[in-house]
Amino acid sequence: MSKAKLATVWLDGCSGCHMSILDMDERLIELAQQVDVVCSPYVDTKVFPDEVDVTLVEGGVANEEDLKKIRKIRARTKCLVALGDCAVTGNISTMRNPFGVEAVFRRAYIENASLQPGEPHEDLPALLPQARPVHEFVPVDVFIPGCPPSAEIIHFVLSELLQGRKPDLSARLKFG
């Protein structure tokens, strides 16, 4: 029996959701018998592979690189999971939206810079006009809210998906 291909991706977020994945502790060993982690910040894979069974996406879509990445991921993933409040609603990622890109850059790179203030012009992906949740750019199959979601919820969702079932979170968590 072949293992499912699992990927985890970090867009514009804080890595708290990935820390919750690690909080599954010994359940990670159980999952490792069922999945091959084919791409993740945890592994040294540089290119998102073709034909991934499940991808957990942490973070909102805030820049051109995120947008390009999430479109490629969606095209190569059977089941896309928005993991955490930033991926589900935009959450912290969207806090910059009322200020506009220029004001955010000015505050970050000029007003708060103590050494060599100035906006970077190289090696920085262009910010989108607004940071947005993942589902506003690509279809999402499963939403796991939480900041971050608990290891128990993540384990439940992965277990259900690996058994071929769509997880029902209605009795397991309260959103909002």
d(CA 100, CA 113) in angstroms, rounded, equals 19
Q: Which regions of the chain are under pLDDT 50?
A: none
What count of other Cβ atoms lies within 10 Å of the Cβ of residue 80? 25
All domains in the chain, ordered by first residue? 4-95+129-162 (3.40.50.700)
Residue 82, pLDDT score: 98
Residue 158, pLDDT score: 98
Residue 1, pLDDT score: 61
Residue 175, pLDDT score: 63
Q: pLDDT over 70 for what percent of the chain?
A: 98
Question: What 3 state SS string does the chain have?
Answer: CCCEEEEEEECECCCHHHHHHHCCCCHHHHHHCCEEEEECCCCCCCCCCCCEEEEEEECEEEEHHHHHHHHHHHHHEEEEEEECHHHHHCHHHHHHCCCCHHHHHHHHHHHCCCCCCCCCCCCCCCEEEEEECHHHCCCCCEEECCCCCCHHHHHHHHHHHHCCCCCCCCCCCCCC
pTM of the predicted model, to two decimals? 0.93
Residue 42, pLDDT score: 86
